[in-house]
């Protein structure tokens, strides 16, 4: 279950959002490297100073975590893959 501060539809309509099939690629290719390079050049993401988009995500071990519930203390938020 994912909720974001802005609607899912809004983000899905943005030209840089990938559909499920494309996002979960079967083979790592050169275009994925190039995409990362392009996104780096564009500094794609949430700019400094802006409110970090809220979300509610399931947690390993059970339960869920909502980002906005953690205010009052800084958060280090990292995105990563097992492979």
Partner 1 sequence: MGSVEPFRKLHARWGGQVHFLVVEVRQAHPGPDYPRHTSAEQKLEEAREHHQEANAPWITLVDDLQGTVHQVYGGLSDPSYLIDAEGRVAFYNLWSYAPVLYEAIARLLEQGGRGVVMGGVNRLPHLGPAVTDGWPAIQRGLPQSLVDLETAMPGGGALLWLGHQARPLLAPLTLRAKPLPQGLTLGLAAGAALVGFALGCWLLGARGTEALAFPRRRTNGQTAPELANATPTHLPPRLPVAETVSG
Residues that bind partner 1 (CB under 8 A): 1-2, 4, 6, 8, 11, 16-20, 23-30, 32-33, 36, 39-40, 43-55, 57-61, 65, 67-68, 70-83
- Tokens 């994925």 sit at which residue? 32
User: How far, in Å, CA of 30 to CA of 52, rounded?
Assistant: 30
64-70 long-range CB contacts below 8 Å, 24 or more apart?
64/1
């Amino acid at each position: 279950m994912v909720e974001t501060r802005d609607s899912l539809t809004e983000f899905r309509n943005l030209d840089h959002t990938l559909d499920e099939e494309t996002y979960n690629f079967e083979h790592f290719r050169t275009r994925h490297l190039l995409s990362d390079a392009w996104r780096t050049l564009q500094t794609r993401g949430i700019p400094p100073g802006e409110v970090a988009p809220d979300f509610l995500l399931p947690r390993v071990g059970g339960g869920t975590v909502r980002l906005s519930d953690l205010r009052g203390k800084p958060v280090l938020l990292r995105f990563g893959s097992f492979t």
